[in-house]
Amino acid sequence: MHLQEATITTVHLYSFLSVDYSCYHFMSTTSNIKMRTLCLIMLFHASLQLECDRRDIKAHIGGQFTLICKYDTSRFRYSKKYWCRGDSRSTCEILVDSESKTKNTHRAYIVDAGRRGLIVKVTDLQLDNAGVYWVGIDKVHADIMSSVNVVITEVPVSEPSLQPLGSLVDRQTCWGQPVTVRCGCTKGTAVRYAWYTHHQDFLLHHSSDLYLHCGTVETDSDYYCIASNDISSHRSVILSVQVLLPAYNSCIYVVHIQGQPIYDCADRMSTSTVKTPPVTTCQATMKIQSDTRNSSLLINQTDQDMFFNREWTGVPLWYTLLRWGSFASLLIFLCVVLKCTKARHKRAKKKRRVHVRRTPRLVN
C-alpha cells in the first residue's frame, strides 16, 4: 500500500468514527483483508481511549447516579471533559464540563480524577431527565465520546400501613361514633390508594381514607387497602369490623387493626339491652300512733292521682295542671253567667207583677 493511500484511508476511518457510522459497513463494501484489519484496530483503539462502566442507567425519581469512565490519561489528561445531552453526538447540548465554563443548572457534576477516571454524578432526578447522554473528551478533528441511556422511573411503593385518625382506646365505636382509617406508604411516588372489602375483593372507592359509621357497618366485614403506582403495588393488613348491635343511628361495633390496641364493648352491651319495665303499684306505709299501742298499717294504693302522676297521663305535669285549671275556670264562669241570668229574670218578673197591681181597672 502506498503512503498516500494509507493516509487517505486513515482519514476516512476517523471520519466514520466522528459521524457515528460503523466500520462494519465499510468492511462489507471492501474485499481488502488489510483494510478490515485496520478498521478493527482503529475501533479497538478508540474504545481504549474512553470506556464507561455503564451504557444503560436506570434510576428512580429523586434519586441519583454516578458514572465512572476510564480514559487514556497519557494523551488526554489536560483535555476538557464534558457531559452533554442529545440523541446525536454532533448536536448534543453540553450541561457541564470539567473547566466549569457551564452553569450547573441540571444538578450534574463532572470531576476529572486522573488515573481514577472521569466521574459524572447527577442528583435529584426527575422524569424529564430521561434520555440519551454523552461523555466527551475534547480532541482535535473529532471528540472522543461515549453514549449513555438514562431511564427514570417512579419510586416503588412500600407496604401500606393503616392508621386511625382517632385513638381506638377511647372506644368511640362503642357509642356508635364514626371512625376514619387512613392508608399510607413511607416510600413511593405518585401513589394511588384504593379500598376493598375482603369478601370477593369488591372495590369500595379510590381514596386513602376509609370512613366507617353506623350507616355502612351493618354486618361483620373485613377491609384492606392497596397502594400502587406505575411500577409496583402492595397490599395492607386486614381491617376487621365486628358489629355487636346493628342500627342506623346508634350502633355498637368494634374495629381491629394489626398493631393497634385491642378493645371491646362488653360493658356497653350489658347496658344497651332493652327491657320492658313491669307494672307496679305504689305502696305507702302509714303509721298510726296512739297512747296505748304503735302499729303500722300497709295500704296498697294504686295510681289514682291523675294530676300528679306523669307516667300515668303520659303528658307533662304543667300541661295537666293547665288543662284542669282551664276546665275549672270555665265551669266557674258558666255558673256565674247562669246565676246572673236567673237573677235578671227574677227582677224582671217582679217588675211586671208590681206594674199590673198599680194599673186601675176600667168600669163599663
Give the pLDDT confidence of 294-311 residue by residue, as tens digits: 433 333 443 444 444 444
What CATH number is associated with residue 213?
A: 2.60.40.10
Same domain, 89 and 140: yes
Find cell 465554563 and name the residue: 101
Residue 234 included in any domain: yes
Q: What is the mean pLDDT of residues 334-361?
A: 77
Residue 124 included in any domain: yes
Find cell 471520519 and name the residue: 15
Has residue 277 got a pLDDT over 90? no
Same domain, 266 and 191: yes
DSSP 333-364: HHHHHHHHHHHHHHHHHHHHHHHHHHSPPPP-
Same domain, 233 and 249: yes
* Among 242, 271, 300, residue at a domain's last position: 271
Q: What is the mean pLDDT of residues 318-335?
A: 88
Q: How many other CB atoms are found less than 10 A from the CB of residue 238? A: 13
Same domain, 131 and 59: yes
* pLDDT at position 104: 59
* pLDDT at position 89: 87
Residue 104 included in any domain: yes
* pLDDT at position 348: 81
Has residue 238 got a pLDDT over 70? yes
- pTM beyond 0.75, yes or no: no
Residue 29 included in any domain: yes
Q: What are phi and psi of 174, to 5 degrees?
A: -65, -20
Range of the domain at 218: 161-271
Q: How many angstroms separate the CA atoms of 343 and 334, rounded? A: 14
* pLDDT at position 4: 36
* pLDDT at position 42: 54
Percent of the chain with pLDDT over 70: 70
Residue 318, sorted as left (phi over 0), alpha (psi -120 to 50) or beta, turns out to be alpha
Q: How confident is the model at residue 35 (pLDDT cuts 50, 70, 90)?
A: low
| Segment of 3-12, 217-226, 270-279 carrying the highest mean pLDDT | 217-226
* pLDDT at position 278: 45
Same domain, 11 and 64: no
Same domain, 170 and 235: yes
Same domain, 119 and 28: no
Chain centre to alpha carbon of residue 227 = 11
Residue 217 included in any domain: yes
* Among 153, 188, 211, residue at a domain's last position: 153
Same domain, 89 and 136: yes
Q: Which of 15-29, 50-64, 197-211 has the lowest mean pLDDT?
A: 15-29
Give the pLDDT confidence of 134-155 residue by residue, as tens digits: 999 999 888 899 999 999 999 9
* pLDDT at position 354: 67
Higher pLDDT among residues 361 and 194, named by residue? 194
Same domain, 202 and 248: yes
Q: Which three cell numbers stand for residue 343?
A: 237573677
Give the pLDDT confidence of 94-139 residue by residue, as tens digits: 999 988 766 656 689 999 988 899 999 999 999 999 999 999 999 9
% helix, strand, coil for the chain, step of 5: 30, 30, 40
Has residue 2 got a pLDDT over 90? no
Same domain, 35 and 74: no
Q: What is the mean pLDDT of residues 57-83?
A: 93
* Among 252, 271, 290, residue at a domain's last position: 271
Residue 354 included in any domain: no
Same domain, 64 and 13: no
Residue 139 included in any domain: yes
Q: Which three cell numbers stand for residue 30?
A: 471492501
Burial code of 115-151, b = ≥16 C-beta within 10 A, e = fewer? Answer: eebbebbbeebeeebbeebbbbbebeeebbbbbbebe
Q: How confident is the model at residue 268 (pLDDT cuts 50, 70, 90)?
A: confident
* pLDDT at position 320: 83
Q: How confident is the model at residue 79 (pLDDT cuts 50, 70, 90)?
A: very high
Higher pLDDT among residues 201 and 43, named by residue? 201
Same domain, 142 and 171: no
Q: What is the mean pLDDT of the chain?
A: 77
* pLDDT at position 49: 82
Strands 56-60 and 144-153: parallel
Residue 287 included in any domain: no
Q: How confident is the model at residue 250 (pLDDT cuts 50, 70, 90)?
A: confident
| CB < 8 Å & 24+ apart, contacts of 191-194 | 191/157, 191/227, 191/228, 191/229, 192/227, 192/228, 192/229, 193/160, 193/225, 193/226, 193/227, 194/225, 194/226, 194/228
Q: What is the mean pLDDT of residues 201-216?
A: 92
**The total number of structural domains that make up the chain:** 3
E strand or H helix at 316: none
* pLDDT at position 189: 92
* pLDDT at position 174: 92
